[in-house]
Structure 1
Amino acid sequence: MDTTDRPHVPSPAARLSGAPAGLALSCHPGPVVAVTGLATALAVSSGSAHGRWVLVGAAVLAGQLSVGWCNDAFDAVRDAGAARPGKPVARGAVGRGTVWGAAFTALFLCAVLSFACGAAAGAAHMTGVVAAWAYNLRLKGTALSWLPYAVGFGSLPCLVALSLPGSPWPAWWAVAAGALLGVAAHLGDVLPDIEEDLRAGVRGLPQRLGPARVRRLLPAPLVAATAVLLLGPSEAPGGRTTAVLSGVALCAVAAATVCAGPRPVGAWRKAALAGTVAAASADVALLLARGTQIA
């Protein structure tokens, strides 16, 4: 019998050996590392004691793992239908039930670790994590798709500040900057997949706006975050601060100009991406530099 056209089905042994790797890849390791690193660095820069910033980092890590696993487990059927090769659950590298189990376990650990930082800190962080779960389960396909990102990133300065001795309230500008960076992260994350998402019936805010409008809009929250970080703290910006603000704003405006065309290609696409990444990196650096002032 000719079996050349039969789909390859991994053996039970192969599936078992590949499950740990599939589970690790299905958590969205890039965003997990980036967000955990940002929150941990912010906790360190805020002056947290050694044990406290480790606890903050562990709480954020558990929360991000739960969000990533929830996303892949919930979207497994749609990802399989779209034949997305980068999705381990969709291609059968790890079972959907296994990933759901990991997601809920990480969510439980996140709650324990978050509230170990303090009641207010735990409540603030869990609000952000629950918002991210709401994005995965429902809000991704609505005009409010940006809101969980704003809440989630805005909750990170809250977690850091409220975990400090005395549980001080976070500075408004730190929360606002985090929320704006979250909106930018949402736009940048969704932008490459807008057309594919539309074919799959996903109609979040970026999908409704379309790729061209999202490319033009993306620099706006980055410029706004820069302005908040430089002008929000009580100390008046000096000449160097003004220069940084102007430089970052120019990078973002340049990115918006390059991205304004319907389909930027080649070196122009890379230039637009570089300008946007430069603006985002400068904003993160400014946030970390202001770490001691967030509470």
Structure 2
Amino acid sequence: MFGIEEEAVSRSRLDAYAGGGGRTIDTAPMYADGLGEEVIGRWLADQRPAVPREDWQIISKVCHPEDGRSRVRPDVIRAEVAGSLRRLRTDYLDAVLLHRDDPDVPVNAITDTLLELHDRGTVRQLGVSNWSAGRLADFADAVAPLKPIASYQFSLAVPTGPIWPDTRHVTADVLEVVVERGLCLQGWTALARGWFAGRNPDDRTGIDRKLLLLFDTPANRAAREVVFSIARKRDVAPIAVALSWMLSASLDVHAVLAPRSAEQLRECFGGLEFTLTSAEWAELSRAAGVTSVPGPASERVRG
């Protein structure tokens, strides 16, 4: 809601996040037509020098479609990166991701542009979102030895279709590329639109009900039951259980979260502190029917 809600409210959210140890912010020029990045930029500037820029990981995503039309072009990449730098009041971005893919654009045209920005020092890490496994592999090979980010919808719950047009959930073939090439996996909608935060798809008043219904399947209901059962037994929030499952996978995986309250934020941080046993992790995977995600390497894991 940054750039839409009152700036004082956004600042209080950022203050709570930073106070809990948060140091990564995921944003994009298309959020509130750039106003979201302006709010973040002003807040970040006010943190200095007590919290220097180097302490933060700032990610921006570019080339979001406009009126259903692809904007994956070198000129758009350059222009949107420049705009993000200006709005965020920084000389560099820790990572830049493409919001979508355009299969008609050769991979090398995209990677050449991103590598140019990397070589200038304005972008430190590169990534793509919602690409097919084949295109992702080609991208990773083209930017090697850099370790790119692969960004997809990823959680214990698998949606029945795209959450937004041309978006993708992590599939077995994508995971194979991630594992083989040692990529960083960024999982957005990590709590399945609130599915694991207790939101009820039968509640017709929810603003995201149509999106939430994409997760309303027998397997996802079974997974949610196990999540809530473990949460009750271990006296933790269900959010912590669902996040621990995701973060405990044998992957370099990171969760993108959008808590709507201070309480949800605290529960999200709880996912970093809560530990699942390997048996609990396996029970959750079986309930959800998720078999391609590699499990934790040790008997007891840390989220």
Give the TM-score range, shorter chain: under 0.3
Max Rg structure: 1
User: In proportion to residue count, which structure has more strand?
Assistant: 2
Q: Give the TM-score normalised by structure 1.
A: 0.28
User: In proportion to residue count, which structure has more helix?
Assistant: 1
